[in-house]
Amino acid sequence: MSLDVDRIRAALPVLQRVAYLNTGTFGPLPRATAEAMAATERMELEEGRSGPQYFPHLRELRDRARAGLAAAVNADPASVALTRATTDGCNIVVAGLRLGPEDEVVTTDLEHYGLLGALGVSPARVRVVRLLDRPAADALDAIRAEVGPRTRLIAVSHVAWSTGQVLPIAELASLGVPVLVDGAQGAGAVPVDVQALGCDFYTISGQKWLLGPDATGGLYVRPDWHERLAVAAPSYYGQLGYEDDGTATPAPGALRFDAGTMAAPSLAGLVASLEFGAAAGEERFARAAGLADVLRERLLAAGHEVVTEAGQATLVSWRPPTPAAELVPRLAERGVIVRDLPRLGWLRASVGFWTSEGELDRLVEAL
């Protein structure tokens, strides 16, 4: 069954106004998401945020959000913690590994600060593999060359936020070193099966390709790590009971790593967004990837210096002839929403399964 693109686009109101090509920052909100959030806010306004029904309802929302996030990456819900950002997930893992100054972490120069920040405050030595100016085919050998006897963690993106490159996660996971995957540009954009990938940890961003509200997300923790990974940032939702001195009985599975309170409207919105994406089906991934390649070819045909290789993910980056930061507001005036990449001077477009070829033409023409 083919995607009903017209129906999907009609459910994303922002597309009626602009060519929205910045899902890599924030995805377009489905109408159903906004309605679920508004209904929950109305309930809180009129009925209060307490009482015999409120907290069971909040628990139910957490359970439904957890199940939806787990389905998005083909995981058991018991192996998914709720977080408020990809950054939360990276911090939970890096701090929980209790790395020391004799340990090493291998990462790349393609990474976002959401991952790098956690590595930067760790006492471990961070080895950075230079991939930014190398073809995607070189990534595995280049990373493998930096892995040594002191390597305690490989920490990389599934999809690079800068180049759109898909990194070889399954192959890295076979090296015998724990692998933390920053999935901010992966989950919802490309098919994700954490069991097939074999990674130990995978962070999930709710507000990007899963089209959820801000400050929502999750962390997949492989079952054999549930008890080995230390709980470095405890929360009320991560324990079954506690003593006066603060010692606690951790919740089972990855639930012990849950972040603290998450707003009920955000949880309700996340559930609606996850249902929206799931209803679109698996075909959405091939459509988005195909459109990204279409954009790449049209930019090249128009004489632009495209950074992103063919056959990668749903992000397309290129070097503009004038300062990128100046072009973003000018393109917005033309009804085209993209972003610039600080430090690199590039422009980046995010292509979703809801994107039309007409919007890609609109971008190229506006440039």
Q: Return the pLDDT at 86.
A: 95
Report DSSP state, residue 159. Answer: B
User: How far, in Å, CA of 300 to CA of 304, rounded?
Assistant: 5
Helical segments of 126-252, H only: 139-146, 169-173, 194-197
**Rounded distance between C-alpha atoms, residue 69 and residue 316, angstroms:** 25
- CB of 96 closer than 8 Å to CB of 270: no
Crossing angle of helices 283-301 and 357-366, rounded to 10°? 30
Q: For residues 15 and 9, is the Cβ–Cβ distance under 8 A?
A: yes
Given a contact cutoff of 8 angstroms between Cβ atoms, the answer to whether 157 and 185 are in contact is yes
Q: Where are the alpha helices (DSSP H) in 302-349?
A: 324-333
Give yes or no for a contact between 260 and 92, defined as CB atoms under 8 angstroms apart.
no
What is the C-alpha radius of gyration for the chain, rounded to an integer number of angstroms?
21
Token pair belonging to 321: 């002839």
What tens-digit pLDDT sequence spans the chain (367 residues)?
589 999 999 999 999 999 999 999 999 999 999 999 999 999 999 999 999 999 999 999 999 999 999 999 999 999 999 999 999 999 999 999 999 999 999 999 999 999 999 999 999 999 999 999 999 999 999 999 999 999 999 999 999 999 999 999 999 999 999 999 999 999 999 999 999 999 999 999 999 999 999 999 999 999 999 999 999 999 999 999 999 999 999 999 999 999 989 999 999 999 999 999 999 999 999 999 999 999 999 999 999 999 999 999 999 999 999 999 999 999 999 999 999 999 999 999 999 999 999 999 999 999 9
Q: What is the pTM of this model?
A: 0.97
Sign of the CA dihedral running 60, 65, 68, 69 = negative
Q: Which two tokens stand for residue 183?
A: 């999935």
What are the residues facing 205 on neighbouring strands? 217
**Quick one: which H or E segment has residue 13?**
none
Q: Can you list the positions of beta strands (E) in 63-124?
A: 80-83, 104-108
Q: Dihedrals φ, ψ of 152, to 5°? A: -100, -15
User: Which runs of E-coded beta strand occur in the chain?
Assistant: 19-20, 80-83, 104-108, 125-129, 151-157, 179-182, 201-205, 217-221, 239-242, 248-250, 305-306, 315-319, 336-337, 339-341, 346-350
Q: Which residues neighbour 171 within 8 Å (Cβ) at sequence distance 6 or greater?
A: 140
What's the confidence (pLDDT) of residue 2?
80
Label the pairing between strands 179-182 and 201-205: parallel
Q: What are the tokens at 36?
A: 């679920």
Helix, strand, or coil here: 317? strand
What pLDDT does 109 receive? 98
Residue-level pLDDT at 1:
54
